Amino acid sequence: MRRLLFKAAAVALVLPLAACSTKGGAETNSTGVTDKEITLGVMADLSGPFKSLSTAITQGNELWAKDVNAAGGVCGRQIKLETVDHGYKADTAKTLYPQIEPKVLGFVQLTGSPVMAALGKNIEADKVTTTPASWSSELLNNPYAMIVGTTYDIEMIDGLSYLQEKGMLADGDSVGHIYVDGEYGANGLRGSKYYAEQHKLQLHDVKITSTDTDLTNVVTGLKGQGVKVILLTTTPKQTGSAAAANKALGLNVPILSNNPAFDPALLKSPAASALDKLYIVASTVPFSADIPKAKEIAQKYAAAGYKEPPNAGTPYGYAVGEVWGTVLKKACENKDLTRDGIHKAMQQTTSADTGDLVAALNFGTPGAPATRQVYVAQPDASAPGGTKYVQPLFEAEAAKAYKAPHEGQ
Partner 1 sequence: MTTFLQLMLNGLGKGAVFALLALGFVVIFKATEVVNFAHGSLVLFGGYLVLVTKDTVGWAAAAVIGIVSAGLLALAVERLLLARSRHADPFSLALLTIGVDVIITEEVVRRLGVSLPFIGDAWDAKPLQFAGVTLFRTHLVALGVAAVLITAFFLAFRYTTWGIALRAQAENPEAAALVGIRRSRVTASAWLIAGLLAGVAVLFIATQDFSGAGLSRGTHSIALAAFPAAIIGGLDSTAGAIVGGLAVGLVDALSTEYISFAFAKSAVFLVMLVVLVVRPAGLFGTRETTRV
Which residue from 86, 177, 204, 223 is in contact with partner 1, where contact means CB under 8 A?
Answer: 223
Quote the CA–CA distance of 398 and 402 in Å, as a whole number.
6
Asked if 213 interacts with partner 1 (CB under 8 A), we say yes
Strands, sheet with 278-282, edge to edge from the N-terminal-most edge strand: 202-208, 174-180, 229-233, 255-257, 278-282, 374-379, 387-394
Closest separation in Å from C-beta 217 to partner 1: 4
Contact 319, 61 (CB under 8 A): no
Asked if 252 interacts with partner 1 (CB under 8 A), we say no
Which residue from 30, 31, 39, 52 is in contact with partner 1, where contact means CB under 8 A?
Answer: 52
Which residue from 24, 73, 143, 221 is in contact with partner 1, where contact means CB under 8 A?
Answer: 221
Asked if 210 interacts with partner 1 (CB under 8 A), we say no
**Residue from 374, 356, 372, 316 nearest 162 by CA:** 374
DSSP state letter for 233: E
Contact 202, 191 (CB under 8 A): no
277 versus 330: smaller Cβ distance to partner 1:
277
DSSP state letter for 260: G
**Which residue type is seen at 120?**
G
In 3-state terms, what secondary structure has residue 315? helix
**Residue from 237, 231, 258 nearest 133 by CA:** 258
Asked if 224 interacts with partner 1 (CB under 8 A), we say yes
Asked if 238 interacts with partner 1 (CB under 8 A), we say yes
Closest separation in Å from C-beta 255 to partner 1: 14
Quote the CA–CA distance of 198 and 166 in Å, as a whole number.
18
Asked if 186 interacts with partner 1 (CB under 8 A), we say no
Binding-site size, partner 1 (CB under 8 A): 36
191 versus 236: smaller Cβ distance to partner 1:
236
**Contacts with partner 1, 277-316, as mask; x by CB under 8 A:** -------------------------------x--------
Q: Which stretch binds partner 1 (CB under 8 A): 19-27, 31-39, 207-215, 297-305?
A: 207-215
Contacting positions for partner 1 (CB under 8 A):
51-52, 55, 206-209, 211-218, 220-221, 223-224, 237-238, 240-241, 244, 248-250, 265-266, 268-271, 273-274, 308
